[in-house]
């Protein structure tokens, strides 16, 4: 069948799409991709419910999702499928975002806003103020139900227990921490720290 599609509705930066484009139910997606992608031709995949447009060399999938429409659709600012497809002018929901960047802004969108400051700090907007998100800290519980608060200082490759300054899992051959009070022994047999001539 024919679809009369006005040019002011369908525009493309590269292709000059004819005003009368062919819509042909070819069949499965594999069958579509095996045919010639004639310039301006549309095809419908009956197994994946997808539409494709030919550019003269390859088939390009039209990026939209089929949404069941109600007999009494929402005629407001956004059509009723706005919530179903998971985005609107003010929100994005149930989407996977990849290769994105958080920038700096002096304003906020309310509680939960994120930004990277010019000083390189990651901040979240909570309780009407911007709060720094502390990085490289972990709070852990071990098998003995003991808790440790650890962080990874700049220049260190392992985590250090905050209160003692000792490495937790990085131990010498004698069982003592390689890092003690943020001081690192050079050998595989670290010695105990000494205070006032006595060991502890």
Render pLDDT for 55-67 as a digit per residue (tens, 0 to 9): 889 999 987 766 6
Q: Which of 4-39 are b and which e, b meaning 16 or more Cβ less than 10 Å from the residue's Cβ?
A: ebeeeebeeeeeebeeebeeeebeebeebeeeebee
Mean pLDDT of 143-168: 81
Distance CA 138, CA 149 (A): 6
In the chain, the percentage of residues whose pLDDT exceeds 70 is 70
Asked whether residue 76 carries a pLDDT value surpassing 60, the answer given is no
Confidence at residue 154, expressed as pLDDT on a 0 to 100 scale: 75
Confidence at residue 141, expressed as pLDDT on a 0 to 100 scale: 78
> Are the C-beta atoms of residues 27 and 15 closer than 8 Å to each other?
no
Confidence at residue 84, expressed as pLDDT on a 0 to 100 scale: 57
DSSP state, residue 85: H
Query: Which range among 85-89, 107-111, 118-122, 183-187 shows the weakest confidence by mean pLDDT?
Result: 85-89
Q: What is the pLDDT of residues 95-124, one digit of tens each?
A: 788 888 888 888 878 888 899 888 888 899
Confidence at residue 130, expressed as pLDDT on a 0 to 100 scale: 92
* Residue ranges per structural domain of the chain: 2-61, 101-133, 136-200
């Amino acid at each position: 069948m024919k679809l009369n599609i006005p040019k002011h509705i369908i525009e493309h930066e590269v292709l000059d799409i004819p005003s009368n484009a062919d819509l042909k139910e070819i069949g499965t997606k594999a069958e579509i991709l095996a045919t010639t992608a004639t310039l301006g031709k549309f095809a419908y995949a009956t197994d994946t419910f997808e539409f494709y447009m030919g550019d003269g060399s390859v088939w390009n999938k039209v990026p939209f999702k089929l949404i069941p429409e109600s007999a009494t659709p929402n005629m407001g600012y956004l059509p009723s499928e706005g919530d179903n497809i998971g985005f609107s002018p003010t929100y994005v929901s149930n989407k996977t975002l990849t290769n994105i960047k958080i920038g700096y802004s002096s304003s906020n969108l309310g509680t939960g806003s994120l930004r990277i400051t010019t000083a390189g700090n990651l901040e979240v907007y909570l309780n009407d103020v911007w709060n720094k998100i502390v990085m490289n800290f972990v709070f852990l519980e071990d098998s003995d139900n003991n808790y440790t608060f650890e962080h990874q200082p700049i220049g260190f490759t392992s985590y250090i227990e905050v209160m003692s300054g000792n490495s937790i899992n990085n131990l010498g051959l004698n069982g003592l921490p390689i890092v003690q009070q943020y001081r690192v022994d050079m050998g595989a047999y670290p010695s105990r720290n000494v205070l006032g001539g006595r060991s502890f």
